[in-house]
Amino acid sequence: MKDGLYLSTVLYASWGRGGGTGGLGRGRVRNDGAGENGLINFDQITQNNIDSANSGIGNFGDSYLRRSSVNNHNWYGLLSNLNIEKTENLSFNVGIDARTYRGDHFRQVNNFLGLTGYNDNFRTDRPSDYVISQSFEANPCSALFDFADEDQRYDRDYSENINYIGGFAQAEYKQDSFSAFFQGAVSTQSYQREGRLTGRGDGLGKSEKISKAGYNLKAGAAYKINVQHSFFANAGVYSRQPFLDNIFADIRYSNRLVEPEVENEEIVGFEGGYRFKNDVFRLNIDVYNTTWGNRFLAINGPQQANDETSTYRLNDVTQVHNGIEFDMEYRGFGPKLNLKAYGSIGNWKYEGETPYNLQNDETGDFITTDGKVNLTNVKIGNAPQTSFGLGLRTQLFKGFSADLDYNLYTDLYEFVDPADVAADALAGRTYNSVRLPAYTLADAGVTYNFDLGANKMTFRANVFNLFNKAYINQRDAFGYYLGIGRTFNASMRYNF
């Protein structure tokens, strides 16, 4: 550090090990008379596996096993920032951001369900008598260190390699009641897929390396009328590189790039707001308008033969988000009681005509390659567009406080199905977005602050969805999805 110059550099690393489980094979059995919504009868499946297997060896067509989809990553980065205070009113900030990421993705057997091995000759060019004989636990502790070697992996085994480097700069001016800033950034990002399993598709070896440049520009200003009232406004444009999964026709099995090539997403946003603050009351109000163009979306499609799933791949999607948000806090009841309220009212819709393909998830084949659908005024799903909340925080004794939040979520819509929109248009009908039921959730927490030597220690515990309420948080072509039930977390923070 030198007078007027402040340099900060951070090196970081992240190692992740995780995934999920699912079924393998077509020998699934449901309880008698329960129909398609019945529970899976694992006892009967295990017995069937034992009875029908060839010396304990199962196969995709006749057996049913549990498998794990493994997603491991190694991520390293550097962030360096130089702050230059040119004068009392003018400062500059410049820096670099560099990252490298490698993710490994494959499948392995989790539970043989009565079998001793699995004959992996379905949609693969492995020998017809190739047998996988090892299984691996799916619990978090085991997944950290114990996963399949390449010869025990099946269906998919590939890596994604992403390298990113960018530079950024900002100028800020402050004087009395007025402040303004301008910031910009440029970056380049490269993508490459590396496949190791010789199976369906053309995904063996390294793909072509693709590089994409991106940028963002943002400017804003704020004006303070007095110590209580202030206003601000910001505007920005953002050219964001696409995600790696969107660049490849089928990232799981193929090195083939999509056609036409996926370009950057283009985002234009405007934001304005008002701030009020005195000794007992605080109020923030924000309004926004964002147009998100050239977006790629992957949405679950209809069920195919043999329980195979499908996905709509939508290109050149435009989304428009408008809304107003507020939050307030009142501390006039006394030093031991705070009341807060918050809310968000949005109007999020698609706009314009969008091309799409429908792809079979199991085979990677395209069912439809030239679909087009006009999504104008169709509601955007997956998140509540309107929400309100009330919160209460009270200090029970020195250093110890408890809080409770009660939240209402509404204007939640299902994922759009392009086929339904197109069918309504052909029939001369206007597509009406399906609105899901509103729901309320309560969250609670406690905080304890205490001294540990000369420094502060903070303990925090939370309970989310306090009453373990069941609610629907999304719906797509496969049905309704329930939200997360009651969960807990706790943390300790030491300040020094």
326-349: pLDDT as tens digits: 999 999 887 789 999 999 999 999
CB atoms within 10 A of CB 14: 10
- The structure tokens 């698609």 sit at 350
% of the chain residues with pLDDT over 90: 61
4 torsion bin: left (phi>0), alpha (psi -120 to 50), beta (else): left
pLDDT for 177 equals 94
Indicate the pLDDT class of residue 436, thresholds 50, 70 and 90: very high
Mean pLDDT of the region 290-314 = 86
pLDDT at residue 74 is higher than 60: yes
* 305 or 1: which leads in pLDDT: 305
pLDDT for 201 equals 63
Mean pLDDT of the region 264-289 = 96
pLDDT for 291 equals 97
pLDDT at residue 199 is higher than 60: yes
Mean pLDDT of the region 448-473 = 93
Q: If we measure between CA atoms, which residue out of 169, 277, 257 comes closest to residue 217?
A: 169
Those residues with Cβ within 8 angstroms of residue 473's Cβ, 6 or more apart along the chain or in another chain? 412, 439, 481, 482, 483
46: part of which helix (H) or strand (E)?
A: helix 42-52
- For residue 242, whether the previous peptide bond is cis, meaning omega lies within 30 degrees of 0, is no
416: part of which helix (H) or strand (E)?
A: none
pLDDT at residue 38 is higher than 70: no
Average pLDDT score, the chain: 90
The pair of three-digit structure tokens given for residue 202, joined into one six-digit string: 């053309």
pLDDT for 101 equals 97
Indicate the pLDDT class of residue 2, thresholds 50, 70 and 90: low
Q: What is the pTM of this model?
A: 0.82
Mean pLDDT of the region 480-486 = 92
Q: pLDDT (tens digit, 9 = 90+) per residue, 98-107?
A: 999 999 999 9
pLDDT for 55 equals 81
* 256 or 489: which leads in pLDDT: 489
Report the DSSP beta bridge partners of residue 211.
190
Mean pLDDT of the region 406-412 = 96
pLDDT for 352 equals 92
pLDDT at residue 468 is higher than 70: yes
pLDDT at residue 384 is higher than 70: yes
pLDDT for 335 equals 78
Mean pLDDT of the region 34-61 = 80
Those residues with Cβ within 8 angstroms of residue 78's Cβ, 6 or more apart along the chain or in another chain? 9, 10, 11, 12, 96, 97, 98, 99
pLDDT for 440 equals 97
Among 141-145, 370-374, 484-488, the range with the most confident prediction by mean pLDDT is 484-488
Q: pLDDT (tens digit, 9 = 90+) per residue, 63-73?
A: 999 999 999 99
- The structure tokens 């969107």 sit at 246
pLDDT at residue 36 is higher than 80: no
Indicate the pLDDT class of residue 210, thresholds 50, 70 and 90: very high
Please state which of the ranges 82-96, 206-220, 386-400, 467-481 shows the lowest mean pLDDT. 467-481
pLDDT for 492 equals 93
pLDDT for 425 equals 84
Q: If we measure between CA atoms, which residue out of 105, 117, 120 comes closest to residue 154?
A: 120
Mean pLDDT of the region 446-460 = 91
